Amino acid sequence: MKKPHFAPLSAQEKELTKFFVKMAAILGVQRSVAEIYALLYSSPESLEFDVIQGRLGISKGSVSQGLRFLKGNGMVESIKVAGSRRERWQPSPSLAASLVGLLRNQVLPSLEESKPLLQKLVKEASDQNFSAEVIDRLTRLQRWNSRALELSTFLLPPPEA
């Protein structure tokens, strides 16, 4: 059976991919996830799994994992096309809602999980007579983490019930 040929990414798709890859790196999201999102975001129509894989040249596992991540964070949705049994993928209608979902599901849990660890580090540094400079740095880090959590309640809309 002949392997299907897929069009290479256009110059605009490549540039958009670079943008999303940079943004994903800031949030600790895998490159392949950003590539999938960029492709879907720039596509005028929804795309089948095989097209995503073929155009990006990444493994089936990476596409499957990436779509699962994106769907779980409300960034993409799957649709059914009449007359086809295959699932097609498209970005969610609101980029803002997608970003909020990503921040809420990825960044905030990391900040929350860091809270007790930072408290423990500051206490241990004090108990073990670390230098005042190190204790001050750890204390500032702990305050930064707490402030980031406090600000998130003002910056992010409340989660939908």
* Lookup: tokens for 126: 């004090």
d(CA 49, CA 29): 20
Residue 100: partners with Cβ closer than 8 Å, 6 or more residues away: 156, 157
Using CB atoms within 10 Å of the CB of residue 37, give its burial: 0 to 12 exposed, 13 to 18 middle, 19+ buried. buried
d(CA 66, CA 20): 14
Q: What is each CA distance from 68 to 24, 74, 87, 116, 157, in whole angstroms?
A: 16, 10, 13, 30, 24
User: Tens of pLDDT along 2-29?
Assistant: 677 899 999 999 999 999 999 999 888 9
Look at residue 100 in the predicted model and tell me its pLDDT: 85
Look at residue 1 in the predicted model and tell me its pLDDT: 61
d(CA 94, CA 123): 43
- Is the separation of the CB atoms in 135 and 126 below 8 Å? yes
Q: In which residue ranges of the chain is pLDDT below 70?
A: 1-2, 160-161
d(CA 72, CA 120): 32
Which domains, from first to last, does the chain contain? 11-91 (1.10.10.10), 95-155 (no CATH)
Look at residue 2 in the predicted model and tell me its pLDDT: 66
CA of residue 100 relative to chain centroid, distance: 10
